[in-house]
Amino acid sequence: FNPRSPYGCAKLYAYHIIKNYREAYGIFACNGILFNHESPRRGENFVTKKITKDVAGIKKGLNEKIILGNLDAKRDWGYAKEYVEAMWLMLQRDKPEDYVIATGEAHTIREFVEEAFKIIGINIKWVGKGIEEKGIDSNERVLVEIDQRYYRPTEVNLLVGNASKAKRELGWEAKTKFKELVKLMMEADLQ
């Protein structure tokens, strides 16, 4: 473990305290190490929801463009409903264990943006580099801009999980693929 944010440090503390209580007091407690899990209910301060909400807003004529940070960060995004099912399965075991819950696939924020725009019939083309990069449509209208303010100072470029233990012991694996997940979120925001 190498947490790169206060949130990550808190999660690591929780992992160890759960493990300590389980071992010291025999409490039935499991750690679910859940990689990014998304749904239409995702809060608006998360990049996935920001993308789907703003792209839907562009389609509805409410927004002109979306402003993002690092487009090349890769994340392992899964469907929250399936991750809750994994948590339930953990609690059905005779012995408490710790499990990684993830899809095992990494996709960039750029891919998420492209997929969201495809759903509304727009193919994004990228021009420029770094913070000067922009996403444009076929009419060269700027729909995506980059702003340094949205870069994290200790950005982790790749986060991908290995849920093989969950598959082996719980019979759990992610079913909803990346494109389906983006579509689910977009459809909710387009309503």
Q: What is the pLDDT of residue 4?
A: 82
Gap between the Cα atoms of 133 and 126, Å rounded:
7
Name the pLDDT band for 152 (thresholds 50, 70, 90).
confident
**DSSP letter (8 states) at residue 158:** B
Q: How many helices (H) and strands (E) does the chain have?
A: 6, 10
Gap between the Cα atoms of 104 and 32, Å rounded:
15
SS3 78: strand
Gap between the Cα atoms of 141 and 45, Å rounded:
25
Rg (CA), the chain: 19
**DSSP letter (8 states) at residue 35:** P
- Is residue 73 a contact partner of residue 107, using CB atoms and an 8 Å limit? no
Q: Which two structure tokens, joined as six digits, stand for 64?
A: 């002109």
- pTM score > 0.75 for this model? yes
Query: Over 90: is that where the pLDDT of 133 sits?
Result: yes
Domain ranges of the chain: 31-190
Mean of all residue pLDDT scores within the chain: 97
Gap between the Cα atoms of 125 and 69, Å rounded:
17
Main-chain phi, psi angles of 189, to 5 degrees: -75, -20
Q: Which residues contact 159 (CB under 8 A, 6 or more apart)?
A: 35, 36, 74, 75, 76, 106
Q: Could you tell me the fold of the domain covering 31-190? A: UDP-galactose 4-epimerase; domain 1 (3.90.25)
Element of type H or E holding 18? helix 6-25
Find the length of the chain: 191
126-139 mean pLDDT: 96
Q: What is the pLDDT of residue 154?
A: 83
Main-chain phi, psi angles of 6, to 5 degrees: -60, -40
Gap between the Cα atoms of 53 and 14, Å rounded:
32
Q: Which two structure tokens, joined as six digits, stand for 121?
A: 């019939």
Query: Over 90: is that where the pLDDT of 1 sits?
Result: no
31-55 mean pLDDT: 96
160-179 mean pLDDT: 98
Query: Over 90: is that where the pLDDT of 59 sits?
Result: yes
Q: What percent of the chain has pLDDT over 90?
A: 93
Query: Over 90: is that where the pLDDT of 184 sits?
Result: yes
